[in-house]
Amino acid sequence: MDSAPDEARLIRTARTVNDSKPHWVIERVERAAKRFKEPVIACLGLAFKANIDDLRESPAVEITADLAKRYPGCVLAVEPNISELPARLKGELQLCALNEALLRADVIVVLVDHTPFKNVDPIRLQTKVVIDTRGMLSRHG
């Protein structure tokens, strides 16, 4: 790295930005949740990346688990590529289908851009606070 100090600095900066992103998302959710007496928060996507079932080292899992600790019993996890939560998340989270989450949640947090999430009817989001970290639903307003 000494032979390329600018690249090393860029890599360090990128790592800092990436490491701070989960905190930024959690802060946004907390601000949104304050609008509701007993907020229900739906986290869409737990996988490491879109359309896979691998949850290892997924920032989405960490964000969702952190929110579940802050809002016990109020966080719904939607992950269409798994049938049950990993043991470490059981009890903290409720795994549910997308339709159920859209009905129950006050705050919708898009964490992974799975294909099924792209087909959400914008009408279903009108009364929700949407935090779209993937830019999937922003076209819906």
What are the tens digits of pLDDT across the range 98-141? 999 999 999 999 999 999 999 999 999 999 999 999 988 754 43
Question: What is the residue range of 37's domain?
Answer: 5-140
CATH of the domain at 55: 3.40.50.720
Q: Determine the straight-line distance between the first and last CA of the chain, rounded to whole angstroms.
A: 44
C-alpha distance from residue 107 to each of 12, 14, 51 (Å): 33, 29, 22
What's the domain count of the chain?
1
pLDDT reading at 14 higher than 70:
no
What are the tens digits of pLDDT across the range 36-56? 999 999 999 999 999 999 999
Distance of CA 141 to the CA centre of its chain: 18
Q: What's this model's pTM, rounded to 2 decimal places? A: 0.85
